[in-house]
A and B are shown apart, each in its own frame.
Chain A
Amino acid sequence: MKRNRMFMLALVALVLLPGLLFAMPAAEEKGGKEMRLAWWGNPTRDERTLKAADMFMAKYPEVKIESETTGWAGYWDKLNTQAAAGSLPDLIQHDYAYMLQWVTRNQLADLTPYIKDGTIDLSKVNDSFLTGGMVDGKLYGISLGTNAVCLTYDPAVLAKAGIAKPDTATWTWDDFERIAIEVYRKTGVQTIPFFTTDPRVGFEHLIRQQGDVLFGTTGLGFTDVSALREFYAIQLRLQDAGALIKPEVAFVSVSPEEGEFAKGRSWVEFIWSNQFVATQNAAGRPLELGLMPILKGAKAKGTYLKPSMFFSIPAKAANPKDAARFLNYFLNDIEVNDMLMGERGVPIPDDVRNHMATKVDAINKQIFDFISLASTNSGPIDPPDPPASGEFLKMVRDVTQEILLKRISLDAGVAKIMNEGNNILK
């Protein structure tokens, strides 16, 4: 019977083994003093952020930082799942688009206590850089950099067409249209449809200029469709003149290197300023950076400074104290910012920004100059997007393609955005 008993013992071990395997990581978590850090990014950002974590750990050996990184799309899937499971990291990179939703679901912690007790030092930060992360007077996210919507163009193409570089602080959409047509006539280089990944960024710029906001509290924030209509009318006029790149080509999602602008088939591309380095690398030729054109009869500024790359501490974070310490280091430490080189955008503390401006390379200098140009030509930021914005953006992108593929008339398309938009956002 001895053999039998041994056999049973082995069986019991077999039954228990998987359970033990599942239980192990949990036991490990309770042990050391770890701080989990999560961000979305690209290889350059990953490398620099990991290095920042290493530098922090070298300085404060009692803290162990565990990093989690993915691309933009996978990041939110992962974070949402972790939020549902109650296992969010301690410090998470967050975005303006999702901030309100997370705050209303009580997922994020108010950072004010950490500022009061001096863990996070914001003495060098202008308040205008912080408002983006505030909801009802509480601070839920601190941005590591400033960003603004912009337009980048190929000066060589303009020179070839004999067109002077535009003064983007004052130019209008009429100027833009004239240049686009002239460039096409003289060089054959076309214009890419505006903001193919997210057309909303483009027409929001126009809607803000008529003194409206895109999102209201229960639907769209505007009723005057003239700016929205103009956004598509310009593109259709360029299309009729043969100067617009075919939507079948422009709307296929590709890497920056495969894009029409990088291939030299468009003289212009519409981006956020922190995408300039990547765009520049993909294009491999000198580029200019400028403000978006002004709408005729504009009542307000379309451009605004957008806090990019928020960092937030989840409400149920296991180690919020070290998260706050790291955030402060990440934000204010000159040495670590020298290494980060403004990859997440132009830094918000005055001393860091001034220091960086003297050190950055030519391309980053262009971004710094652009941000200072934008800061004198911008209006206040609108409130964060409502929860249904994701669905709204998808609808807008679909209708934009329908209009440019001429499957629907301009007026019908605009009416569709208004009707369906109000329906989705109600």
Chain B
Amino acid sequence: MKQTIRPKRSLADDIAGYAFISPWLLGFIAFSVIPIFFSLYYSFTSYDILGSPVFNGLDNFRRMAHDKLFWQSLKVTFFYAFISVPLRLLFAFFVAMLFNRGTRAIRVYQAVYYIPSLVGGSIAIAVMWRRIFIADGVLNAVLAKIGIITDYSWIGSPDTAIWTLIILAVWQFGSSMLIFLAGLRQIPTEYYEAASIDGAGAMRKFAHITVPQITPVLFFNLIMQLISGFTVFTQAFVVSGGTGDPLNSTLVYALYLYQRAFKYYDMGYSSAMAWVLVLIIGVMTAIVFKTSTSWVFYESKEGK
């Protein structure tokens, strides 16, 4: 048995460490930890914000089973996450591949392509998005130019409104792209050189070197994007004006949760919904983790 030797630390060192992170720590406790515990408590109460919370056991959770809008919001959110996340990752990967050739203008491009990720939740973008997809918007004007005359309201029709949000999500591929790009830069050039010497074509190099080497980054991106996909709020809120219109087709889970809390004075129920969402995201993440052993490639394991 080998004994682990721990370096002796003085109390002062500990205090120093905590002191330096104290601004963050206090903020974290005040604005995250305490609210999280409160919301757990509220989820077992009937609480209308103006009065005091009244304990009601599992009532909130039972009510969800019969709440049509709850199921609708789940449906919308799953659809949104399962379509927008793969599309965004594919697109981010594609653009990262394009950028992975080191011309000098690359830094400018990176910045330009990262901008949508920064401004995507802003009111200006929401207004622009509406103007693109309304009946007399940019999209229909462009379609008219190529001979397709229509006054279809993409954003006002229940069948297509969610797609405007999905396109908005795909357009905000910047952060995933940067992570992919960093991953691509990590792949040793020797692999490609060796493959070239062996006569491998571009496609083979891509399939047998690039893809396996990038899977750990893909895994990370997938988890992060799934979480942000399931918790999407701002885009849906601003594009639909906070309503989830038309016909609740853009009523994502977090938007409904918000409406419950602040529009209908139903904080207990919406806290319960928040914890159900935590559970859903936990399960989804666990599934991705479980399957990861069969598709994520780690160099160290290959050594065996």
Residues on A lying within 8 angstroms of B by beta carbon are 4, 7-8, 11-12, 14-15, 17-19, 22, 73, 76-77, 80-81, 83-84, 101-102, 105, 107, 246-249, 251-254, 258, 387-388, 390-391, 394, 397-398, 401-402, 405, 407
Contact = CB atoms under 8 A, between A and B. Distances in A.
A83 B49 contact: yes
B contact residues, range = 35 or more
Given A390-B263, A405-B247, A17 B155 contact: no
Contacts of A8: 12
Interface in B42-67: 48-51
B262 A77 contact: yes
Contacts of B259: 394
Interface in B130-174: 130, 134-135, 151-153, 155-158
3 nearest A-B pairs in the assembled complex, by CB-CB distance: A253-B241, A248-B156, A105-B50
24 contacts: A8-B12, A15-B18, A18-B23, A76-B263, A83-B49, A101-B50, A105-B50, A105-B51, A107-B50, A246-B135, A246-B153, A246-B156, A248-B135, A249-B135, A251-B246, A252-B130, A252-B245, A254-B130, A258-B134, A387-B265, A391-B264, A394-B263, A405-B158, A407-B247
Interface in B13-49: 15-16, 18-20, 22-23, 26-27, 30, 48-49
Interface in B234-284: 240-243, 245-248, 259, 262-265
Nearest to A265: B136
B265 A19 contact: no
Contacts of A77: 262
B246 A80 contact: no
A252 B19 contact: no
Contact of B156 (A4, A251, A388): A251
B134 A80 contact: no
Contacts, number: 96
A11 B19 contact: yes
Contacts of A246: 135, 151, 153, 156
A192 to B, nearest CB: 13
B68 to A, nearest CB: 9
For the residues of A in contact with B, the DSSP-based class is helix
Contacts of B158: 405
A11 B16 contact: yes
A252 B18 CA distance: 51
Contact of B265 (A80, A397, A407): A80
Nearest to B242: A73
A51 to B, nearest CB: 27
Contacts of A4: 12
A251 B259 CA distance: 19
A254 B30 CA distance: 38
Contacts of B51: 105
A15 B156 contact: no
Given A246-B151, A249-B135, A252-B153, 8 more contacts: A18-B26, A80-B262, A246-B153, A251-B156, A251-B245, A387-B265, A397-B243, A398-B247
A101 B48 CA distance: 10
A253 B22 contact: no
Given A17-B23, A18-B23, A249 B134 contact: yes
Contacts of B242: 73
Interface in B67-83: none
Contacts of A105: 48, 50-51
Nearest to A387: B265
A73 B265 CA distance: 14
Contacts of A407: 247
Contacts of A253: 240-241, 243, 245
Given A18-B22, A248-B135, A388 B264 contact: yes
Contacts of A107: 50
A246 B26 CA distance: 53
A18 B27 CA distance: 9
B130 A14 contact: no
A15 B26 CA distance: 9
Nearest to A10: B19
A254 B129 CA distance: 12
A398 B248 contact: yes
B155 to A, nearest CB: 6
A82 B152 CA distance: 43
A77 B22 CA distance: 30
A19 B26 contact: yes
A22 B263 CA distance: 29
Contacts of A249: 134-135, 151, 153, 156
Contacts of B16: 7, 11
A84 B135 contact: no
